[in-house]
Amino acid sequence: MEPLVKHRGIAALLPRINVDTDQIIPKQFMKRTEKSGYGKYLFSNWKYREDGSLDPDFELNREAFKGASILVAGDNFGCGSSREHAPWAISDHGFKVIISTSFADIFFSNCFKNGLLPVTVSAEALKSLSDEIEASPGVSFDVDVENQELITPGGTVIRYGLDPFRKESLMKGMDDIDWTLKHADKIYGFEEKLRMTTPWLWKGYGIKPL
């Protein structure tokens, strides 16, 4: 996973609430067995009209948002299914940061597994960021992971919360499995203990260290 320490990029505004993972990556693109190449399907049902042309009414199709890497969206972003195809598509499309007033739990956690930073801000802050984008479409924001700050050219500075472990993981591009395997002996020890508590689940199964 690529580390994310500092990022500067165009902020695109998607002023919709309850954006669900079915919209982020419609199910017709989930039959693939690969992990990459989902970017072109991002928001596919909203992005295109029936004849396959770009829908000019879809907010992210605005010319000013071309090449955007920061997505600013309404409340409860990423609700619905657990599909990691959603952050895969967002990331593959070129986004690095998503800003909203709240995120659905599974989506939020999936973002970090893919080097994507979800930033939760207050309703007032979201309004101020949205206003700034509307006032100067194509504006770029700065996101500083280490200092947990979001800075706009309009002078807004937002300090956001970030779990210290997730922050470290994001900044170093850490691999979760590698990290957990550092505690392999603890997992094995735990299983040894469990075998005593719930023997009916462990019959005929010899456990070995990881």
The distance of closest approach from Cβ of residue 102 to other proteins in the complex, given in angstroms and rounded to an integer, is 6
Least separation, in Å, of the C-beta of 150 and other proteins? 21
For other proteins, the closer of residues 5 and 17 by Cβ is: 17
CB of 8 to other proteins, least distance (A): 27
* Burial annotation 42-76 (CB, 10 A radius, 16+ → b, else e): bbbebeeeeeeeeeeeeebbeeebeebbbbbbbeb
Q: Tell me how far, at minimum, the Cβ of 171 lies from other proteins, in Å.
A: 14
Site residues for other proteins per CB under 8 A: 15-18, 20, 22-23, 26-28, 30-35, 45, 50, 74-76, 79-84, 87, 102-106, 109-110, 113-114, 163-166, 176-177, 179-181, 183-184, 186-187, 190-191, 194, 197-201, 205, 210
CB atoms within 10 A of CB 79: 19
End-to-end CA distance of the chain: 24
CB 177 within 8 A of CB 210: no
- Between CA 152 and CA 3 the distance in angstroms is 22
Nearer to other proteins, 64 or 106 (CB): 106
Of 40 and 165, nearer to other proteins (C-beta) is 165
Comparing CB distances to other proteins, the nearer of 30 and 171 is: 30
Nearer to other proteins, 155 or 199 (CB): 199
What is the smallest separation between the CB atom of 73 and other proteins, expressed in angstroms? Answer: 11
Question: How many Cα atoms occupy the beta-carbon half-sphere of 32 within 13 Å?
Answer: 14
Q: How far apart are CA 165 and CA 126, in angstroms?
A: 25
**What is the C-alpha separation between 41 and 91, in angstroms, rounded?**
12
